[in-house]
């Protein structure tokens, strides 16, 4: 029977407490003190601590208005790939906005962060003549980076998380003229930051490029939310930066920011860009407004810092939390089933906190991934910490 492995694989997932199911969120709601932090699932309301809407900008009236303006002016759909007739003034304006924001020469828009990452590694991983590219990825790099790298024609090595010494040894053993170091700015499941200054230094010493996936730091890190661009400045900037619009920026899509040569090369050789319909021009127009708000409203980033400090203060010291300066607080539980059980306990207390299990994280490190957003308040954090202490400290 064709593909008879499917049912067996699903059964195995269930037996290992790794089975995944979608839930349908009926709506998000702004109600009194819970401004934009409630979700409704199966007729019940939950305080959401699993959202990537770090700055609380989703459903912002000014962004929604810009979306409406964009739809009226450009239409909702691009109707073609960017290289046919799908590249609109809204796309150009958004690219210019990102370049100004991050101080990068050029920018290219993609439909998602996954497609941007895969496109980049595929395009740079081509084997030209006898010279094969070498990619060096942090062990905790996102699945899209790993897939893109290993599906390319490049030679791929992974170094232990934030282990610059090991990376240096791997680079020293490479004879390729085309070396690329890749890391996330803020790691999606741990919430800690890359050693960007050290990575930049090692890249320059070894004549390599530095590529940073800034999906979880854009908007949140820096005085104007520039992410890694606020840490690496001048000649020490990452050679190429990727970030998504669907998290702190609260719209959809992604971008690659780079120099002129890489920009032209990607337009000609990045298959995910060439053969995909461009992102909605209305969304692009709305994204410009979102970036404006991010640049102007530092209070959103200050609020995350304030509430995060309160959260750590209130948690029982016996609870293992990975140190972070981001919105992401990873509470390590260990066992898959225990993580699921705690998640269900919290739902009974009106808290939505998804259990993260292998293969998203390594075996034995299942966790609750708490995301603290600027539209949470002190009462929310008090309730969360109280419920976690009760569930994990019996």
The percent helix, strand, coil of the chain (3-state, each to 5) is 40, 20, 40
Is 60 a known active-site residue? no
Residues 48, 51, 52, 375: which is the catalytic one? Answer: 52
184 in Cβ contact with 194 (< 8 Å): yes
Is 122 a known active-site residue? no
Sheet containing 351-352: which strands, arranged edge to edge?
25-31, 34-41, 44-48, 351-352
Classify strands 134-138 and 179-184 as parallel, antiparallel or unpaired: parallel
Residues 138, 190, 213, 214: which is the catalytic one? Answer: 213
CA distance 20 to 268: 38
Residues 95, 138, 184, 192: which is the catalytic one? Answer: 184
H or E segment and range at residue 340:
helix 336-348
CA distance 372 to 375: 8
Is 142 a known active-site residue? yes
Is 82 a known active-site residue? no
Residues 88, 142, 303, 329: which is the catalytic one? Answer: 142
In the chain, what's the furthest Cα-to-Cα distance?
64
| CA atoms within 13 Å, Cβ hemisphere of 149 | 23
Residues 51, 188, 280, 365: which is the catalytic one? Answer: 188
Residues 97, 122, 247, 272: which is the catalytic one? Answer: 247
Residues 88, 122, 134, 216: which is the catalytic one? Answer: 216
Is 40 a known active-site residue? no
**Which of the residues are catalytic?**
52, 142, 184, 188, 213, 216, 247
């Amino acid at each position: 029977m064709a593909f008879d492995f499917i049912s067996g694989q699903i059964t195995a997932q269930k037996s290992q407490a790794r089975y995944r199911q979608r839930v349908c969120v009926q709506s998000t709601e702004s109600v009194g003190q819970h401004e934009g932090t409630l979700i409704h699932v199966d007729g019940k309301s939950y305080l959401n601590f699993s959202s990537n809407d770090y700055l609380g900008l989703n459903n912002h009236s000014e962004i929604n208005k810009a979306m409406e303006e964009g739809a009226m002016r450009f239409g909702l759909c691009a109707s073609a790939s960017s290289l046919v007739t799908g590249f609109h003034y809204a796309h150009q304006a958004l690219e210019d906005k990102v370049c100004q924001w991050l101080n990068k020469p050029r920018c290219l828009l993609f439909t998602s962060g996954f497609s941007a990452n895969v496109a980049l590694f595929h395009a740079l991983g081509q084997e030209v003549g006898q010279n094969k590219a070498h990619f060096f990825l942090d062990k905790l790099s996102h699945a899209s980076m790993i897939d893109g790298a290993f599906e390319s024609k490049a030679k791929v090595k992974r170094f232990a998380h934030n282990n610059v010494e090991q990376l240096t040894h791997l680079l020293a053993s490479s004879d390729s003229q085309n070396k690329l170091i890749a890391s996330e700015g803020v790691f999606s499941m741990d919430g800690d930051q890359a050693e960007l200054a050290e990575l930049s230094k090692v890249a320059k010493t070894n004549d390599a490029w530095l590529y940073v996936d800034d999906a979880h730091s854009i908007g949140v890190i820096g005085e104007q939310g520039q992410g890694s661009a606020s840490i690496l400045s001048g000649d020490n900037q990452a050679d190429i930066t990727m970030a998504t619009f669907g998290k702190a920026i609260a719209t959809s899509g992604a971008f690659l920011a780079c120099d002129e040569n890489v920009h032209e090369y990607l337009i000609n050789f990045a298959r995910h860009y060439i053969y995909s319909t461009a992102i909605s021009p209305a969304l692009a127009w709305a994204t410009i407004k979102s970036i404006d708000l991010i640049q102007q409203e530092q209070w959103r980033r200050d609020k995350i810092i304030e509430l995060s400090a309160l959260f750590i203060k209130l948690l029982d010291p016996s609870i293992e939390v990975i140190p972070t300066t981001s919105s992401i607080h990873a509470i390590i539980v260990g066992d898959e089933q225990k993580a699921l059980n705690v998640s269900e306990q919290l739902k009974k207390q009106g808290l939505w906190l998804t259990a993260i299990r292998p293969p998203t994280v390594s075996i034995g490190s299942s966790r609750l991934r708490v995301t603290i957003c600027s539209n949470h308040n002190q009462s929310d954090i008090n309730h969360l910490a109280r419920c976690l202490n009760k569930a994990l400290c019996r």
